[in-house]
A and B are shown apart, each in its own frame.
Chain A
Amino acid sequence: MAIAQMQSIELLIHRSRIMDVLTLLQKQAILELIEQSVVTPTDSLQVAQALAFCERIFPRQKSFMENFINIKRLVRPQVYQRLIADKAQIKRVLLELGKLRDAWEELNRREQSLMQQELQYAVYTKFPITTKYLAHLKQVQVRTGLVPLKEYRAKSSVWNSLPQLAEVQEYATDLKYAYLGVIYHASVAEAVNSVVAQVSFTPVQLPETGSLAKDYQALTAELKQVRKELAALKKKIGAVYQESGVLLSVWADMLANRETLQAVMAAVPRSEQVFAVQGWIESSRYAELEILLKPYSKYTHLSPCAIEDKPPVLLKNNTLIRQFEAVTDIYGMPHSNEYDPTPLLSIFFIVYYGLCLSDAGYGVLLVFFSLLWLKQYRKHLTSYGKKLLTLNAFCGVSTIMVGILSGSYFGLDLQAIPFPAIGQFLLKMKIVDPIANPLPMLVFSFVLGVIQIYFSLWVKFFLDIKQQGWYVATILSGTWIYFISGMLLLLVTPLAKYIVWSGVVLLILTQGRHHKNPFMRLGSGLISLYRMSGLVGDILSYSRLFALGLVTGVLAMVINLLAGLTGQIPVVGFILMAMIFVAGHLFDFFINILGSFVHSARLQYVEYFSKFFEGGGRFFKPFSWQTKYITIDTDRK
């Protein structure tokens, strides 16, 4: 039950060394700064934009797993140092990319506008006349335009009301529109207008040109040319990106971190000569910080100080228990004066998970996938991701054990597998069959619930002793343990009823102790008995362990059944059977690991934590290097 002891410190730094010292702190990730909370990291503009531009044109193909694991470029420290040192190169690349980008955008604009024109010409070419031709007309005017085809057909009678000196010509129709010209003598313009107003007539202004066809040809030729240039440009950008992608990523991350640092520096309170940094550090690392600051000893002064704020919380556990922090982290951190519940939930969680997944075959899959991904994405996983996968590997083992005890291997019928000897051997290890006889497993789930809830009462008791002393602890939680123990003993001997009854009396007498009025005391004590119904409800909630286990098992059976049915189809049957078998079991596996994890966690949070654990602490977030594009690969292998 370990929460790292935190020490608040004040570090005075002379202004001449402020950059150096903050850089050191950022690199070491040892200290959480008070000022850090006001800073939001921003993308350093120029480099990040250049990078975003390249990524827009050459989007990286992402594997499905990348939706769950953030994969960044791996950069070796030597390479990083070399790239960061070379300022001339990044300047050159940025300049070049800037030019390429301007050209790219210019060409894109031209392409867009040409495409727009192409669309317009598709309309113009429907009309057999040109503006040049119309310009010769003096007495006669022509209005060109289009009308939705449906409306044109439905309202054809409208045109009958045109005056004598006017007529409508249908030049062309396509699926949507009719392309019309209304030709009329200038003297009847108004009458024509009123007729045209009755339909949705969209006027088309024909271009002033001699030959539409010639223009159109020129247009397509230009578009082709622009597209060719774009393709060539894309190649060029690709070459630059290929060559300098790493460089850009490194600089983008470096600059972003420097900006964070500068923002923090700006927020630190200062006098004319001295910056005063305040923050939190693990007490055990205080000496380490002193050593780190040695080179700056003339310019810095480190001392413990009091900070009014509550300290942040960092869990400290051994390698085994640390993996279970993946569960605690989701709930949130304990208060700084509480205990870390991680070790207390570990064994329960692993057993529950096993019961929910409950199939040895799936347990093997879980171990396999967890270890595979741990190995494959080792460099990219966050520390949380690593914990989560390792935890799942543990749970895979417990699942295998549950599977063996319940005789479940991908839901196969052990009587019918090809090697009877193996089947018989596996059957010998089977002690329960939840599908044929559900009750024992259901009862077992409740028993687990009773164990965990009873255990939680003891945990609460010991915490109360630590925090409030023997006397209060005995009255507050000891009485409950006495009463519940009596209830449990009742299963063994009827004599325990005396313990239960005396327990009831004790509870009524003690649980209202915060009231002064004696009647209120008794009343409050009586009401406290109501908590019993809550406890029973909590225990019933553990039935999910059995139900979820059953879900996995029965679904696996159904998949085998379906696969078996398709196996009887001639020729393709075998392939279909294999496909249904593999896809079906993977589906059952993944949907149920999700459920197993979530429900096992819920039992900890809701039924277990509620008895002794409050939470609400703040994660310890040291001032550190954060990257978006790269991971420094310190691996020597």
Chain B
Amino acid sequence: MELGVMLAILGASLAVGMGGLGSSIGVGIAGEVAAGVIAEDPDKFGKTLLLQALPGTQGIYGFLAGFWVMLKINLLGGVLAVQDAAGWQILFACLAVGINCLISGVWQGRVAAAGIAMVGRRPDEAGKGLIYAAMVETYAVLGLLTTILLINGIKL
């Protein structure tokens, strides 16, 4: 296999991997706190579940970026020829979503966890917790956006 394709695949894997890593840590942190809140009051499951789901989006963004790369080089049908330079470009483009999702996933998880703890005491304010967590997500969205636009601009 030529280097270009390999680099593109590395980019896709990094995007999916780092996004998934950020999300699994984030959802994990939120889940731990949620379990604690549920131990006190199982009726709050619905609200805590919504908050726990929020840091999960980074994994999806990473996955989408990875998929975008697959579409770009047509990995699922006959692979297109990718020049080495283009491969590097795709790899670098993937870092935008990867790094953003890795870090923001973890922090969004922490904010969501704090929101869940808040739901434990003031269940009516769950909506505010959701918004706080969404504030962090902005940067993951921007990362995904950048990666997609960059990849779109790359000539194979």
- Across the interface, B134 reaches (CB within 8 A) one of A67, A591, A598, namely A598
Q: Contacts A70-B43, A330-B131, A602-B131 known; list 14 others, CB within 8 Å.
A: A67-B45, A438-B152, A439-B149, A442-B145, A544-B142, A547-B142, A550-B64, A550-B148, A551-B57, A551-B61, A591-B57, A594-B53, A594-B130, A595-B134
CB <8 Å contact, A438 and B135: no
- Say if the beta carbon of A100 comes within 8 Å of chain B: no
Q: Which 5 A-B pairs give the minimum distances between C-beta atoms?
A: A67-B46, A330-B127, A68-B46, A598-B134, A67-B45
- Say if the beta carbon of A371 comes within 8 Å of chain B: no
CB <8 Å contact, B131 and A598: yes
Which chain A residues lie closer than 8 Å to B134 at the CB level?
A: 595, 598-599, 601-602
Closest residue of B by beta carbon distance from A590: B53
The B-contacting residues of A in range 511-561, CB under 8 angstroms, are 541, 543-544, 546-548, 550-551, 554-555, 558, 561
- Across the interface, B145 reaches (CB within 8 A) one of A68, A547, A599, namely A547
- Across the interface, B135 reaches (CB within 8 A) one of A546, A555, A558, A602, namely A602
CB <8 Å contact, B64 and A551: yes
- Across the interface, A438 reaches (CB within 8 A) one of B54, B57, B127, B149, namely B149
9 example contacts (A-B, Cβ-Cβ < 8 A) are as follows A442-B145, A544-B138, A551-B61, A595-B57, A595-B137, A598-B54, A598-B134, A601-B127, A605-B131
- Say if the beta carbon of B99 comes within 8 Å of chain A: no
- Say if the beta carbon of A229 comes within 8 Å of chain B: no
CB <8 Å contact, A598 and B130: yes
Given A543-B142, A591-B60, A594-B54, check contact A554 B67 (CB 8 Å).
yes
Which chain A residues lie closer than 8 Å to B1 at the CB level?
A: none
- Say if the beta carbon of A329 comes within 8 Å of chain B: yes
- Say if the beta carbon of B50 comes within 8 Å of chain A: yes
Closest residue of A by beta carbon distance from B143: A547
How long is the Cα–Cα vector from A146 to B138 in the complex, in angstroms? Answer: 62
By a beta-carbon cutoff of 8 Å, the part of chain B in contact with chain A is 43, 45-47, 49-50, 53-54, 56-57, 60-61, 63-64, 67-68, 76, 127-128, 130-131, 133-135, 137-138, 141-142, 144-145, 148-149, 152
How long is the Cα–Cα vector from A546 to B135 in the complex, in angstroms? Answer: 17
| Residue among B56, B127, B128, B133 with max Cβ neighbours from chain A (10 Å) | B127
CB <8 Å contact, A547 and B141: yes
Please report the number of residue pairs spanning A and B whose Cβ atoms sit closer than 8 angstroms. 77
The B-contacting residues of A in range 577-633, CB under 8 angstroms, are 591, 594-595, 598-599, 601-602, 605-606
Given A438-B149, A544-B141, A551-B144, check contact A330 B128 (CB 8 Å).
yes
Q: In which size bucket is the chain A interface?
A: 20 to 34
By a beta-carbon cutoff of 8 Å, the part of chain A in contact with chain B is 67-68, 70, 329-330, 438-439, 442, 541, 543-544, 546-548, 550-551, 554-555, 558, 561, 591, 594-595, 598-599, 601-602, 605-606
Which chain B residues lie closer than 8 Å to A555 at the CB level?
A: 60, 64
How long is the Cα–Cα vector from A67 to B138 in the complex, in angstroms? Answer: 28
Closest residue of B by beta carbon distance from A604: B131
How long is the Cα–Cα vector from A533 to B63 in the complex, in angstroms? Answer: 33
How long is the Cα–Cα vector from A330 to B64 in the complex, in angstroms? Answer: 31
CB <8 Å contact, A548 and B141: yes
Which chain B residues lie closer than 8 Å to A554 at the CB level?
A: 64, 67-68
How long is the Cα–Cα vector from A591 to B144 in the complex, in angstroms? Answer: 17
How long is the Cα–Cα vector from A594 to B141 in the complex, in angstroms? Answer: 15
Which chain A residues lie closer than 8 Å to B138 at the CB level?
A: 541, 544, 602
| Residue among A548, A555, A598, A599 with max Cβ neighbours from chain B (10 Å) | A598
